A = this chain, B = another copy of it.
Amino acid sequence: MSKISVSIAGGSGYTGGELLRLLLFHPHVKIKQVTSEKYAGKPVFKIHPNLRTITSLRFSTIEELKDCDCLFLALSHGRSLHKIDFFCGLAPKLIDLSSDFRLLTTEQYRRWYGINHPRPELLTQFVYGIPEIHRQEIKSATRVACAGCNATAALLGLYPLYQTPLCHPAKTIVEVKAGSSQSGRSPSPGSHHPERNGCYRVYQPTGHRHIGEILQELSLLWDSSFHFTATSVEMVRGIQAVSHVFLSEPATEKDIWKTYRQFYGSEPFIRIVKDNSGLYRLPEPKILSGTNFCDIGFSKDPLSDHLVVVSALDNLMKGAAGQAVQNFNIMNGLPEKTALNFPGLHPI
């Protein structure tokens, strides 16, 4: 099988670096170019120190990008949009990791990003890139918009339940704990180690942008009873979403098990984690660092309609670069786990 040539626009950020790491070990991929306007000409390992001796690639500029089979966009939000025609012209397949094409309508962009999306006609051309929800469309898609990391964690925990009558209408509150890599590579007063270290900072009690994509995928209206709070916690990689679902119909834990199993039974990257003994009884992000798993567990209050769903993932992997590679594999008819079989470390 001849290799698939790929390039990465925006290769100096954390998701770009993670993509690079994965693709360098992908047996069917040849990386052509990786861009960084700031570090053009420099070896990529200067920015991604884990890649020292792994690759001799150097950064190019976006302008220098050449044709390839699949182009990954790992640019900051808003920057894919600007040059989207240029990017579309470079490759028949395009996988965007930014938020620029996740929402389907201009109304939603106005509401959640406060912008008038300049290219509304493109929005429906992008498939929302969560394979567990849109695998069939992704198979034949030429353009995929990968989901936000917090949205991925919340959605994977909730989606199966929302396909049942249990959650119509349910009140749901999602609490997301997020690591510092989520905010990217640029230092800021809030990312300064003495301030960020050991912090539990409720940075978005309400109104988080990712709510937009979650409502869209759960087919909920804005005025629904869906609530979402995000807190920065002491962690570099990782997201844990604790979702409090108030079921609209009685259900036992067995019912919930069944719902998840039916939906995720054959999913390669979803694990149901719900044990009665041991230390890791419900999902924890730390053992997922570097993996593409989304672990999902739950606990039903026997005395009320309260269901606690816990989902965890690595925001740079299943929440970004790993998801992108999974989509790449699907779009190219490759086994879905290719280049994504790292099991994670313990202890860590």
**Cβ 8 A contact of A197, one of B25, B173, B186, B193:** B193
> What copy number does this chain have within its complex?
4
**A73 contacts the other chain (CB 8 A):** no
B200 and A14 contacting across the interface, CB-CB below 8 Å: no
| Of A77-85, A113-121, A274-282, the one touching chain B | A274-282
B192 and A286 contacting across the interface, CB-CB below 8 Å: no
A223 and B346 contacting across the interface, CB-CB below 8 Å: no
**A273 contacts the other chain (CB 8 A):** yes
Find the residue from A53, A197, A229 having the highest chain B CB count within 10 A: A197
CA–CA, A231 and B277, complex, Å: 17
B202 and A282 contacting across the interface, CB-CB below 8 Å: yes
Assuming the contacts A201-B284, A229-B242, asked whether A236 and B194 have C-beta atoms less than 8 A apart, the reply is yes
Q: Which of A180-234 contact B (CB under 8 A)?
A: 180-181, 185-202, 205-207, 222-223, 225, 227, 229, 231, 233-234
B197 and A282 contacting across the interface, CB-CB below 8 Å: no
* Minimum C-beta distance from A79 to chain B (A): 20
CA–CA, A50 and B341, complex, Å: 12
CA–CA, A54 and B292, complex, Å: 13
Residues of chain B contacted by A280 (CB below 8 angstroms): 49, 201
Q: Which of A253-285 contact B (CB under 8 A)?
A: 271, 273, 275, 277-280, 282, 284-285
* Minimum C-beta distance from A233 to chain B (A): 6
Assuming the contacts A49-B279, A195-B347, asked whether A202 and B17 have C-beta atoms less than 8 A apart, the reply is no
Find the residue from A195, A225, A289, A306 having the highest chain B CB count within 10 A: A195
**Cβ 8 A contact of A235, one of B223, B234, B302:** B234
B46 and A304 contacting across the interface, CB-CB below 8 Å: no
B191 and A286 contacting across the interface, CB-CB below 8 Å: no
Q: How many residues of A contact B (CB 8 A)?
A: 91
Residues of chain B contacted by A133 (CB below 8 angstroms): none
Residues of chain B contacted by A193 (CB below 8 angstroms): 180, 191-193, 196-197, 236
Q: Which residue of B lies closest to A268 (CB)?
A: B53
Q: Which residue of B lies closest to A24 (CB)?
A: B343
Residues of chain B contacted by A49 (CB below 8 angstroms): 278-280, 284, 287, 346
Q: Which residue of B lies closest to A234 (CB)?
A: B234
Q: Which of A1-54 contact B (CB under 8 A)?
A: 14, 17, 21, 24-25, 46-54
CA–CA, A11 and B2, complex, Å: 41
18 chain-A/chain-B pairs, Cβ below 8 angstroms: A47-B278, A49-B280, A52-B273, A53-B271, A181-B194, A186-B192, A187-B191, A193-B197, A195-B279, A197-B347, A198-B348, A205-B310, A206-B299, A206-B300, A206-B306, A225-B304, A237-B345, A290-B345
